[in-house]
């Protein structure tokens, strides 16, 4: 098994286990603990906060322990927290264990992302990141779809299943090198200064869309179990529909991995900034299951473009450093915080207006609008300054 293949298998297994917890928990709390919208949104908000706290200093953990030892240590700690959650699947110990798991998980992923893209040219990094994105995104809908039957038959066994997956992931990490090798800063494969300025503008655009998209995702994730249960879906049906979002993202990851056409092109990100809110609003419409499924697929596909682009441009401009990946994951966590916060504010407005759905839309609307503006404005500004290269660099 090659170095990259081992990383991809690890990523698939680890993400499957992670999603059982991060996405399945809201269906578990709805089914087993009778959580409503407010409780699930508060749980999502706290998860986002600890995710940011975990992601940003990940490079310090890698420097302190060494990359491979850091991943092994963080995996072991995650396994312990999941076993504790299984043993105490309710109350404050449940919440504390879930949040500790999220903190540790956020600290681990930037180190893995550095392993994936280090030592590669921009085109090579894109291909490796593409395979990485396909590996984790293919596992997500499978994990979401699996969480319903697991919750139905095993309840809190959901967390024990996740711990078992992480035990398998540990075996793969043992064969990784102690640390990834990065390109020298003066290597000819590095993008030109003009190219770097343009890629930085694209990175800002894609990051804005990604953060807004994750904010919307973590409005949808806590609310979908309540919304779909009110429409009469069982927990298995709820997770089946919710997986449409992740299926859309996986499809786009496969397409982007197979072609470099989108590299450095503003049109891709402009369309993404427009489609993310359209898919979100369709998914939150609360009408029919078919409309919700289409909205989730569109939202997942367009948000997948923003995620892939953001990680690619961050790793190319930052030479695949753990710190660059940590900032990327920190921004993901910022979206985790913003979405539930806006939805909770909207819930309060809805209670004043006696229109819960209208209140949530009002609370989330600033994120929808600012996300679209943040995705479009850097592209327009960079074009006006004439920083767009006249052609694609040879490295692409």
CATH code for the domain in which residue 49 is found: 1.20.1250.20
> Under a CB-based contact definition with an 8 Å cutoff, are residues 183 and 190 in contact?
yes
- What are the pLDDT digits (tens) for 8-47? 999 999 999 999 999 999 999 999 999 988 899 999 999 9
Domain-located, residue 306: yes
Q: C-alpha angle with apex 370: 353 to 295, nearest 5 degrees?
A: 75
Q: Residue 182 falls within a domain, yes or no?
A: no
Helix 58-65 / helix 91-117 crossing angle, nearest 10 deg: 70
Distance between CA atoms of residues 105 and 54, nearest Å = 8
In a domain? residue 180:
no
State the number of CA atoms in the 13 A half-sphere of 24 facing the CB: 30
Mean pLDDT of the chain: 86
Q: Tell me how far apart the alpha carbons of residues 3 and 5 are, in angstroms, rounded to a whole number.
A: 6
Kindly state the tokens that stand for 245: 């979002």
Whole-model pTM: value is 0.82
Q: Which helix (DSSP H) or strand (DSSP E) does residue 344 occupy?
A: helix 322-353
251 belongs to a structural domain: yes
In tens, the pLDDT along 198-231 reads 888 999 999 999 999 999 998 998 989 988 998 9
Residue 396 maps to a domain: no
Count H helices and E strands in the chain, helices first: 14, 0
Contact in structure between 335 and 213 (CB atoms under 8 Å): yes
Domain-embedded: residue 395: no
Q: Which of helix, strand or coil describes residue 393?
A: coil
Report which of residues 197 and 344 the model is more confident about: 344
Query: In the prediction, which pLDDT does 394 show?
Result: 38
Q: Is the pLDDT of residue 87 over 90?
A: yes
137 within a domain of the structure (yes/no):
yes
Residue 217 CB burial class (10 angstroms; 0-12, 13-18, ≥19): buried
The alpha-helical segments, DSSP class H, found in the chain are 3-22, 24-32, 37-55, 58-65, 67-87, 91-117, 122-154, 157-173, 193-230, 235-257, 266-283, 289-317, 322-353, 356-384
H or E stretch covering 262: none
Calpha distance 73→81 (Å, rounded): 13
Which of 312 and 271 is assigned the larger pLDDT?
A: 271
Q: Which domain holds residue 163?
A: 3-174+189-384
Number of domains in the chain: 1
> Is 183 part of a structural domain of the chain?
no
d(C-alpha 200, C-alpha 212), whole Å: 18
Residue 325 scores a pLDDT above 70: no
| Intra-chain end-to-end CA distance of the chain, in Å | 28
């Amino acid at each position: 098994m090659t170095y990259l293949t081992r990383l991809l298998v690890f990523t698939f297994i680890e993400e499957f286990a992670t999603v059982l917890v991060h996405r399945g928990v809201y269906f578990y709390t709805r089914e087993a603990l009778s959580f409503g919208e407010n409780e699930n949104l508060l749980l999502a908000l706290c998860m986002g906060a600890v995710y940011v706290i975990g992601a940003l200093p990940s490079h310090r953990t890698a420097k302190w322990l060494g990359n491979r030892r850091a991943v092994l240590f963080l995996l072991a700690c995650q396994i312990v927290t999941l076993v504790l959650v299984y043993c105490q699947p309710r109350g404050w110990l449940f919440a504390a264990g879930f949040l500790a798991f999220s903190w540790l998980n956020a600290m681990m992923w930037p180190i893995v992302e550095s392993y994936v893209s280090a030592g590669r040219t921009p085109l090579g990094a894109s291909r490796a990141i593409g395979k990485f994105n396909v590996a984790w995104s293919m596992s997500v809908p499978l994990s979401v779809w699996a969480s319903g039957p697991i919750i139905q038959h095993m309840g809190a066994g959901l967390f024990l299943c996740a711990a078992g997956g992480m035990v398998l992931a540990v075996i793969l990490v043992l064969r990784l090198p102690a640390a990834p090798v990065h390109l020298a800063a003066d290597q000819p494969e590095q993008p030109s200064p003009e190219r770097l300025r343009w890629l930085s503008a694209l990175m800002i655009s894609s990051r804005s869309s990604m953060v807004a998209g994750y904010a919307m995702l973590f409005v949808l994730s806590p609310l979908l179990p309540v919304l779909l249960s009110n429409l009469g879906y069982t927990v298995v049906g709820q997770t089946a529909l919710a997986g449409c979002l992740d299926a859309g993202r996986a499809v786009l990851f496969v397409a982007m991995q197979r072609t470099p056409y989108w590299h450095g092109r503003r049109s891709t990100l402009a369309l993404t900034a427009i489609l993310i809110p359209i898919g979100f609003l369709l998914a939150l419409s609360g009408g029919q299951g078919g409309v919700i499924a289409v909205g989730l697929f569109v939202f997942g596909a367009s948000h997948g473009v923003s995620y892939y682009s953001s990680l690619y441009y961050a790793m190319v401009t930052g030479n695949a450093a753990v710190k660059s990946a940590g900032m990327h994951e920190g921004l993901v966590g910022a979206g985790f915080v913003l979405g539930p916060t806006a939805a909770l504010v909207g819930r309060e407005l809805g209670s004043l207006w006696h229109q819960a759905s209208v209140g949530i839309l009002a609370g989330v609307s600033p994120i929808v609008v600012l996300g679209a503006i943040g995705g479009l404005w850097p592209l327009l500004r960079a074009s006006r300054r004439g920083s767009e290269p006249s052609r694609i660099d040879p490295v692409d």
